[in-house]
Structure formats: structure tokens, C-alpha cells
Amino acid sequence: MYEADRATHRTTHLTQRKTPSMCQHKPQCPTAEGPDREAAFTVAHHPEQGWSLLCNGVVLFEDTGELLPDGQIIAPHRPLGTEHITTAA
């Protein structure tokens, strides 16, 4: 006799996008609502795609544009060309 195997305890939190609690830094990083949101730590960096994910849920694009967790888009606001890229090879 077999009992139904329901050992898959999957908890999906796909709707948790409003207030991301990814940040475990101390002191806590600026929230996505703050003007200094870019100061948050980078948790995922995708230079080949030109964007980074900050721990407050903000997606920061290469051209300094931003996508906020609530879907708001911030236009690029910083001039490029100030970065010093060192290639070691």
C-alpha cells in the first residue's frame, strides 16, 4: 500500500516584489525609494547584459538608467566616460 508522496514543500514568493528584504547589510542599504538608492550593494552583476541588481531591488543599467522594484523607470542621469577600465591581459 502506497501513500501519496507529497514531500514537495514548495513555497513560492513570486509576488514579494514591493518591499524586497534581500538586504542583510549593516547598516542597511538605502531603499529603492530613497534618492541614494544607487549606494546599495550589488547582488548580481551582468556586464555582458549591461545591468546590475542592487540589494534593495533596484536594477541599475550601464547607462545609469534604473528600474525600480515597483516598475518605475529612472532615466539615465550621469555622464559616461568617467570610468577607468583596466584590462589586464
Cα distance from N-terminal residue to C-terminal residue, the chain = 65
Query: How many residues bind Zn ion, per CB under 5 A?
Result: 5
CB of 2 to Zn ion, least distance (A): 47
In terms of phi and psi (left: phi > 0; alpha: psi -120 to 50; beta: otherwise), the region of 57 is left
C-alpha cell at position 65: 538608467
What's the CA gap between 3 and 5, in Å, rounded?
6
- Comparing CB distances to Zn ion, the nearer of 24 and 87 is 24
- Answer yes or no whether residue 58 interacts with Zn ion by CB under 5 A: no
d(CA 39, CA 30): 7
Question: What's the min distance (Å) between Cβ of 24 and Zn ion?
Answer: 7
Q: By CB under 5 A, what part of segment 15-54 binds Zn ion?
A: 23, 25, 29, 41
Q: Is 55 in the site for Zn ion (CB under 5 A)?
A: yes
Interface residues with Zn ion (CB under 5 A) are 23, 25, 29, 41, 55
